[in-house]
Amino acid sequence: MEKEGGKPAAVVAVVTEPRFTQRYREYLEKQKLLDRQHRVEKMPDGTVALPVLGEALPEQHLRELTNRVAPGSTCVLTQLLDPVPSRKARGFSPAQRLCLEVRRWVEGCGVTWSAELEADLPRSWQRHGDLLLLSEDCFQAKQWRNLEPELWETVALALGVQRLAKRGRVSPDGARTPAVSLLLGDSVWVEHVDNGIRYKFDVTQCMFSFGNITEKLRVASLPCAGEVLVDLYAGIGYFTLPFLVHAGAAFVHACEWNPHAVVALRNNLELNGVVDRCQIHFGDNRKLKLSNVADRVNLGLIPSSEEGWPIACQVLRRDAGGILHIHQNVESFPGKTLQPPGNSDTEKEHWLSPQLIITNQLENGATSDSGRKMLSAATKPAWQRENELLIWKKCYELIEMKPVCAIMNSEF
């Protein structure tokens, strides 16, 4: 298991005297609790630490070790802050380890291993603490069904987790509810730490998007001290929390209509110590009663947030305008030329005066922020010029030439 940045995460280990090590190892292997991705380590006082899976070893196993497996042994838990990968773990990637372990187990069950089964194994996944979330395009072959549920125990052991879940397609229900089924384990709540912010949520009811990490880091770096923000699509707090915790927003109005996400959002505000600076508005944001309050409005919804633009303009401050953070999938329109509304010099002056900052999220997750270096109309890519005009045309109609700056997060 790794922390962000590739550094090894601390692992839990059970410590005992050297003469009891083999008995402890055999018991932990039998209970499928031994972490085989990390080496057994000798401690400075001469005792031995055996890495185990999960965040703690349940009390019943500690009693079993001291009372039955090795009477008279010392049995304490510790954390290995710099665990050493086992020789086996160093030689294979996680996907290779999974293939090796699953193939060995399948053949041990008397099932013939095939290229079809190997191609049906996952190559990537999402990790949330001790839960691994598999993609929908793996373990689809019919042969796997006859190997459940022991199959999931083998997969979890190979990848060093205690719980497994598998996702399907996101439901088109407006709340973007994920179709996730729990394969191994009892609890569906997970915790994910992202840029120092704790997110807890029900993995079967709420999504966690890894793809918007670059934009979350960017908004976390914005100077928002003293500002009021309206987050029209708050979810579990993807952007609400970075604005509050890192950007220093004075207050956030967070809008969300998924009841499961609202429960998680309320919990996450408490976890991160910012509950007193946020008001949750549960329900359809198109019916929001707020107006004339926001310095910024975040519209973090794809493929399009256009439906939220009218209410976004409604909540902007009327005296000074504000900033719209617009998220939208964009595409070019070959041969189509868009013109500003109206023909008068006054309208043209207002059309051209606002500053448009474009943050482009590319396929590899990198970003280019043209707000740092404004491009002239002649040097901007065609798709960018055309989509800027689309954004400005709509905002111009909605705000009736009030000052506004739009930040568009474009995803391909």
Confidence (pTM)? 0.61
pLDDT in tens, the chain (412 residues): 444 334 456 788 999 999 999 999 999 999 888 888 888 998 888 899 999 987 778 889 999 999 999 999 999 999 888 888 787 666 678 888 899 889 988 988 889 999 999 999 999 898 888 899 998 899 999 999 999 999 999 999 889 899 999 987 665 655 556 688 899 998 999 998 888 899 999 998 888 877 678 888 889 999 999 999 999 999 999 999 999 999 999 999 999 999 999 999 999 999 999 999 999 999 999 999 999 999 999 999 888 888 898 999 999 999 988 899 988 877 654 444 444 444 433 333 333 223 333 333 333 333 333 333 333 444 455 545 555 555 555 555 555 444 455 555 543 3
How many Å is the Cα radius of gyration of the chain? 26
Q: 210-327 in CATH: which number? A: 3.40.50.150
Tokens 């020789």 label which residue? Answer: 87
Topology match between the domains 94-187 and 210-327: no
183/269 Cα distance (integer angstroms): 29
CATH architecture of the region 94-187: 2-Layer Sandwich (3.30)
Alpha helices (runs of H) in 56-93, residue ranges in sequence order: 59-64, 87-91
Residue ranges per domain, the chain? 11-80, 94-187, 210-327
Decide if 77 contacts 15 (C-beta within 8 A): yes
- Please choose, from the candidates 231, 293, 290, the residue with its C-alpha nearest in 3D space to the C-alpha of residue 262: 231
Looking at residue 294, the DSSP 8-state letter turns out to be B
Paired with 294 in beta bridges are: 316
Residue 161 Cα to chain centre, angstroms: 18
Distances (CA, A) of 388 to 4, 220, 301, 406: 35, 24, 18, 9
Asked whether 73 and 17 are in contact (CB, 8 A), the reply is yes
| Euclidean distance between CA atoms 391 and 11, whole angstroms | 49
CATH 3.30.70.240 fits 11-80, yes or no: yes
Euclidean distance between CA atoms 75 and 66, whole angstroms: 7
